[in-house]
A and B are shown apart, each in its own frame.
Chain A
Amino acid sequence: MLPAVRAEAPAILLLAALAAAPFLGFGEGYMLTLLARAMILAMAAVSLSLLVGGAGLVSMGHAAMMGFGAYAVVILDDMGVTDAAIVLPTAIAAAGAFALATGAIAIRTSGVHFIMITLAFGQMAFFTASSLAGYGGDDGYTLYSRSDVLGLRLLDDRLAFHFICVGALALTWLLGRLLLASRFGRVLRAAKGNPLRAQALGFDPFPYRLTAYVIAGAMGGAAGFLFANATEFVAPAYISWQRSGELLFMVILGGVAGLHGALIGALGFVLLEEWLSHQWEHWRILFGVLLILAVLFLPNGLSGIPAQLARVARR
Chain B
Amino acid sequence: MSAPLLALHGVQKRFGGLAVTDDVSLDIAPAEIHAVIGPNGAGKTTLINEISGVLKVDAGRILFGGQDITALSMPRRARLGLARSFQITSVVNAFSALENTALAVQARSGSSFRFLRPAATERALNEAAMSALEQVGLAARAETPAGAMSHGEKRQLELAIALATEPRLLLLDEPLAGAGPEETERLIGILRGLKSRYTIVLVEHDMQAVFALADRISVLVYGRVIATGTPDAIRANPEVRAAYLGEDEGAEAMPC
Which A residues have a C-beta under 8 Å from some C-beta of B? Answer: 178-179, 181-187, 189-190, 193-194, 196-204, 207-208, 211
Contact = CB atoms under 8 A, between A and B. Distances in A.
A186 B99 contact: yes
Contact of A199 (B78, B112, B116): B78
Nearest to B80: A202
B146 to A, nearest CB: 9
Secondary structure at chain B's binding surface: helix, strand, loop or mixed?
loop
B113 A201 contact: no
6 closest A-B pairs by beta carbon, nearest first, are A202-B78, A193-B92, A202-B79, A181-B118, A204-B75, A201-B107
Nearest to A177: B118
Contact of B119 (A186, A202, A211): A186
Secondary structure at chain A's binding surface: helix, strand, loop or mixed?
helix
B54 to A, nearest CB: 8
A194 B73 CA distance: 17
Contact of A197 (B92, B113, B122): B92
A182 B102 CA distance: 12
Contacts of B15: none
Interface string B112-125: 11111111101000
Interface residues of B, number: 37
B37 to A, nearest CB: 23
A182 B115 contact: yes
A147 to B, nearest CB: 27
Given A184-B112, A201-B161, 7 more contacts: A181-B118, A182-B118, A184-B114, A186-B99, A193-B93, A201-B103, A207-B113
Interface stretch (B83-91, B195-203, B228-236): B83-91
A153 B15 CA distance: 69
19 contacts: A179-B115, A179-B116, A185-B115, A186-B99, A186-B112, A187-B103, A187-B106, A189-B94, A189-B95, A194-B90, A196-B54, A199-B75, A200-B78, A200-B86, A201-B83, A201-B107, A201-B161, A203-B107, A204-B75
Contacts of B176: none
A202 B107 contact: yes
Contacts of A184: 112-115
Q: Which of A186, A190, A193, A194 has the most chain B CB within a 10 Å cutoff?
A: A186
Nearest to B106: A183
Q: Which of B52, B84, B102, B116 has the most chain A CB within a 10 Å cutoff?
A: B116
B126 interface: no
A300 to B, nearest CB: 14
Contacts of B111: 183
B114 A200 contact: no
A107 B129 CA distance: 31
Nearest to B92: A193
Contacts, number: 95
Q: Which of B75, B76, B111 has the most chain A CB within a 10 Å cutoff?
A: B75
Given A199-B75, A200-B78, A202-B79, A182 B117 contact: yes
A247 B136 CA distance: 45
A199 B93 CA distance: 16
A194 B93 contact: yes
Given A194-B90, A194-B93, A203-B107, A183 B112 contact: yes
Contact of A182 (B103, B114, B165): B114
Interface of B: 52, 54, 73-76, 78-79, 83-84, 86, 90-95, 99, 102-104, 106-108, 111-120, 122, 161, 165
Given A182-B116, A184-B114, A187-B106, A201 B78 contact: yes
A58 B97 CA distance: 27
Contacts of A186: 99, 102-103, 106, 112, 119
Contacts of A199: 73-75, 78
Given A181-B119, A182-B118, A204-B75, A194 B112 contact: no
A4 to B, nearest CB: 9
Given A200-B78, A203-B107, A189 B92 contact: yes
B82 to A, nearest CB: 9
A15 B108 CA distance: 39
A147 B115 CA distance: 30
B165 A201 contact: yes
B90 A178 contact: no
A183 B76 CA distance: 19
Contacts of A198: 103
A35 B187 CA distance: 58
A255 B103 CA distance: 26
B92 A194 contact: yes
Contacts of A211: 113
A194 B95 CA distance: 10
B59 to A, nearest CB: 24
Contact of B114 (A183, A189, A190, A197): A183
B91 A197 contact: yes
Nearest to B114: A183
A67 B114 CA distance: 29
Contacts of B78: 199-202
Contacts of A208: 112
